[in-house]
Amino acid sequence: MKLSKYILSTDPLDEVGLYNKQIIFSTRTATSILVDNSLLGNLAVGNYDGIDSELFETLKQKEFLVPVEQDEFAHVISQNKTAKEQGNFLSMTIQPSANCQLGCHYCGQTHSKHYASDAVIDKYYERIVYLLSQKHYDGLAITWYGGEPLTGYSSIKKASEKFIALANERGMTYISDMVTNGLSLKPKLFTELVEVCKVKTFQITIDGTAESHDQRRITKTGEATFDIIMKNIKDVTSMSIYREQRAQINIRVNIDKTNYQYVDPLIDYVKDNGLQRKVSMYFATIVDFGGNDAGKDSLPKNFFADKEIEWLLKCYENDIFISVMPKRQYSVCMAEKQDSEVYDAFGNIYACWEFPYSETYGSGDSLIGNLFFPKETYNTNATLRNWNEILESGATWCKTCTHLPICGGGCPKSWIEGTPACPPFKSNYKDKLLLDYFIKKKSDEKRLAAEATS
């Protein structure tokens, strides 16, 4: 056996009371273990003396130790390919509305009042039936995206009813989620979305407290939206259906130099309004979109990574759901999955959900085709579909990166735009490993205390 090259580790943890210890993390299996400081050095030189047999088994099972002759990059890529071939969910993104009420400066879309007609919905359906005939699937997953998808709600409802009936006929699981600005997400509509359309997970962007959000996520006529959206979130998360149907609202905060100061107050606001244990929060940097210069005020990567740790810790301390550690990524995103497609309100087909309604990507090489034309006319080499070849060619830094198994390359679109897509984890993994360790420890302590009193 040899020590895998896909290992990350913290510094020695004496400062936090874990004397002579460090956390090691295998990105091949997304597993972390607290070990003696000396272990990694010993493994690196093949010295396995004195390693407890249980730990030794774990190190092999979790791929800290791998066969000597193994080409690890080839192995990871081959595992990814197998996982994709064996994937049993057909996942589609549908953007049934070309319209949005908001006029955010960083958006790369051109909006118009077009919504998927019945004829377009029939084409969505026909294409999905065709794809389902190409291999065995156990489930169908639909993501509703925009424009603002809820401006095309009647199309969503009609299409959902057809897809759900199709899944039922075939005994398949049906799941659905939505990326929405939250402006129209009133209780009545929320109930229909959950009960009729089976949309259970919602991503809503809030760019800080009202002071900053209302400078950025304003309507096209310049009106503020923070109070309306937050009221909607408070209303729907108070409904019994939210809890009973295990619905989930994830608050995304888009951050740059102009609003990072408003993230702490937003976390306070979420807590003060009783949304802890109801919503999750996560933090994203604003990047250029097809040359629109939206990333001109981006925070330096390391600064953002440091702030992200502070925000995650604050969320954790306030009982707001967070996700700290990445998982093994067998596929970077839909862009590289041949059977995963994005449809817009006109029946256009793309590989990436950022392409529809975009001047840069709406046509040309990024367009796979249109659902109203025969499939023989579709461009199977559309932009981003060849991400695996780009990865294997070494054109990005990913081929030699220790993070590859959990990252997959970040966002292929960013790379083709010339922006390295490395996620903050690359800069703050040591802190995240430690945060994750303490979260798990605390939750174990709580569980043991509960067991002791029951």
Binding site residues, ligand SF4, CB under 6 A: 333-335, 352-354, 384, 396-398, 401, 403-404, 407, 409-413, 420-422, 426
> Judged by CB, which is closer to ligand SF4: 35, or 390?
390
Cα angle 299, 228, 298; round to 5: 5
> Judged by CB, which is closer to ligand SF4: 73, or 346?
73
> Judged by CB, which is closer to ligand SF4: 155, or 396?
396
> Judged by CB, which is closer to ligand SF4: 77, or 401?
401
Give min distance, CB of 122 to ligand SF4, in A: 25
Give min distance, CB of 342 to ligand SF4, in A: 8
Give min distance, CB of 395 to ligand SF4, in A: 11
Q: What type of residue sits at position 140?
A: L
Give min distance, CB of 177 to ligand SF4, in A: 14
> Judged by CB, which is closer to ligand SF4: 146, or 409?
409
Give min distance, CB of 297 to ligand SF4, in A: 20
Give min distance, CB of 399 to ligand SF4, in A: 8
> Judged by CB, which is closer to ligand SF4: 202, or 262?
202
Give min distance, CB of 202 to ligand SF4, in A: 18
> Judged by CB, which is closer to ligand SF4: 267, or 309?
309
Give min distance, CB of 323 to ligand SF4, in A: 16
> Judged by CB, which is closer to ligand SF4: 24, or 407?
407
Phi, psi (degrees; rounded to nearest 5) at 419: -110, 115
